[in-house]
C-alpha cells in the first residue's frame, strides 16, 4: 500500500527535493512558522512537525473524519489538504479546545455519555460535534446523525455520541 | 506523493497563463490529494487557486451564478439557493460529508476524475485512463460500480477521460 501510518510522510524523498515553503500557521492561538515540503498534509504537519498528535490519521483519504480540525472556524478533514495552502489560517485542534483544566462542554458530554470505546475517532468526533452545534445542525437526534455522518466510529458508539452531542447542544442554548 | 513545486495564484490571468500539462490546480483538494497520494497524478507543479476571487454565489431573480471556488456547503446554505433552487441545496447536502462540503469547490466537482476503483487503486492496475494502452482491469473485474450506459471495451467506468496532469 502506498500509504502507511508509520511512514515518514513529510521527510524528503529520494532524488529531487522541492524547496521548502515558508508557511505561518496559527494553531490553537500560537503562531507557528515552518518550512514545509509542499507534499505535507495539514494532518501530518500537525502531528509530526507541531507535536500535536491529538488529531488522528484514520483512513487518510477523507472518508472517516478522524482528522477533523477547524480552519478559520470551519470543520475540515486535515488529511485532504496541504499545509502550505493554509498560510495565515487559524487552526484549532482537539488540543486547543479545553481552557486549561476545564474541558469544553462537548468533551465533558462525551465522558458523561461514555461516547467512546477505543477512542481513536473521538478527537475527530468532538471537533466535528463542536462545529455541528455551532452551525445549528444539532436540533434533533436525526439532525445530529445526518450532520455527524462524516465521522465514522468502528466501535459503533453512535447512540452515545448522538446523546453527547444533544446534551452539549442543549447546554449551549 | 511524488515531489512537486507549489505556487499560489494571485490573479486569474496569471494563473491561466501558467497552466500546462504538468501543472495540477488545487482548490478544495478533496479530489487531488487522493490522486497525488496514490500517484494517479504526478504533476511537476501544483497551483493553489484558493485565494482567487472566484467564490461568488449570486442570484439576480432569474439567473444563479456559482463561482468555481464556491464551496458546496456555502452554496447549499445560501438563502437564495435554498429558496429558489431547493433541489440543488438538497443534492449538495446529500453529497460527501459536512467536512468535505466545507472544502470541495463547485468547479472541482465538475472536474472530478472517474470514481472507478481500478483507476484509483493504490497499486496500479491496468487502466487506460491512468496509463493509456494498459487495458481495463474493470472490464472483467468487479463491475458493481461501473457504468450501465456509455461504456466501451477500453473503459467501463462512467466518465470520459479528462484533461491534464498525469
CA A145/CA A149 separation, integer angstroms: 6
Q: Is the dihedral of CA B103, A140, A65, A29 positive or negative?
A: positive
CA B149/CA B95 separation, integer angstroms: 22
Cα–Cα distances (Å) from A75 to A85, A97, A129, A156, B134, in that order, read: 16, 13, 9, 22, 40
Nearest by CB to residue B100, choosing from A2, A85, A150, is A150
C-alpha cell of residue B72: 458546496
Q: B64-66 and B57-59: which strand pairing?
A: antiparallel
Beta bridge partners of B48: B8, B26
Contact check, Cβ <8 Å, A18/B96: no
pLDDT band at B164 (very low <50, low <70, confident <90, very high): very low
- Angstroms from B78 CA to nearest CA on chain A: 13
pLDDT band at A4 (very low <50, low <70, confident <90, very high): very low
Sheet strands (E) in chain B = 5-8, 23-26, 45-48, 57-59, 64-66
Residue A76 touches chain B, beta carbons under 8 Å = yes
pLDDT given for residue B76 in this prediction: 98
CA B140/CA B156 separation, integer angstroms: 9
What predicted TM-score, i.e. pTM, was given to this entire model?
0.91
- Complex-level ipTM: 0.91
pLDDT band at A16 (very low <50, low <70, confident <90, very high): low
Q: What is the mean pLDDT of chain B?
A: 92
Residue A23 touches chain B, beta carbons under 8 Å = no
Amino acid at each position: 500500500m502506498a500509504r502507511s501510518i508509520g511512514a515518514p510522510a513529510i521527510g524528503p524523498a529520494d532524488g529531487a527535493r522541492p524547496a521548502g515553503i515558508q508557511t505561518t500557521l496559527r494553531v490553537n492561538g500560537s503562531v507557528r512558522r515552518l518550512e514545509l515540503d509542499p507534499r505535507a498534509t495539514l494532518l501530518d504537519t500537525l502531528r509530526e512537525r507541531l507535536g500535536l498528535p491529538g488529531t488522528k490519521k484514520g483512513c487518510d483519504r477523507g472518508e472517516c473524519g478522524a482528522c477533523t480540525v477547524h480552519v478559520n472556524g470551519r470543520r475540515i478533514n486535515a488529511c485532504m489538504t496541504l499545509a502550505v495552502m493554509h498560510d495565515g489560517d487559524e487552526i484549532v485542534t482537539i488540543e486547543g479546545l479545553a481552557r486549561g483544566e476545564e474541558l469544553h462542554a462537548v468533551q465533558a458530554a462525551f465522558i458523561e455519555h461514555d461516547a467512546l470505546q477505543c477512542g481513536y475517532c473521538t478527537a475527530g468526533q468532538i471537533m466535528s460535534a463542536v462545529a455541528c452545534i455551532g452551525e445549528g445542525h444539532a436540533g434533533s437526534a436525526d439532525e445530529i446523525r445526518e450532520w455527524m455522518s462524516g465521522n465514522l466510529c468502528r466501535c459503533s458508539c453512535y447512540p452515545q455520541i448522538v446523546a453527547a452531542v444533544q446534551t452539549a447542544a442543549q447546554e449551549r442554548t | 506523493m511524488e515531489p512537486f513545486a507549489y505556487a499560489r495564484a494571485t490573479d486569474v490571468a496569471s494563473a491561466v497563463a501558467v497552466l500546462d500539462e504538468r501543472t495540477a490546480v488545487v482548490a478544495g483538494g478533496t479530489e487531488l490529494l487522493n490522486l497525488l497520494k496514490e500517484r494517479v497524478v504526478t504533476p511537476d507543479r501544483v497551483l493553489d487557486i484558493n485565494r482567487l476571487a472566484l467564490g461568488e454565489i449570486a442570484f439576480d431573480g432569474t439567473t444563479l451564478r456559482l463561482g468555481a471556488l464556491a464551496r458546496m456547503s456555502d452554496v447549499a446554505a445560501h438563502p437564495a439557493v435554498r429558496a429558489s433552487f431547493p433541489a440543488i441545496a438538497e443534492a449538495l447536502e446529500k453529497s460527501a460529508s459536512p467536512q468535505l462540503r466545507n472544502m470541495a469547490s463547485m468547479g472541482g466537482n465538475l472536474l472530478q476524475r472517474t470514481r472507478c476503483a481500478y483507476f484509483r487503486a493504490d497499486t496500479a492496475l491496468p487502466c487506460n485512463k491512468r496509463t493509456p494502452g494498459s487495458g481495463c482491469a474493470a472490464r472483467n473485474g468487479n463491475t458493481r460500480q461501473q457504468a450501465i450506459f456509455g461504456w466501451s471495451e477500453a473503459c467501463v467506468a462512467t466518465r470520459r477521460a479528462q484533461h491534464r496532469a498525469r
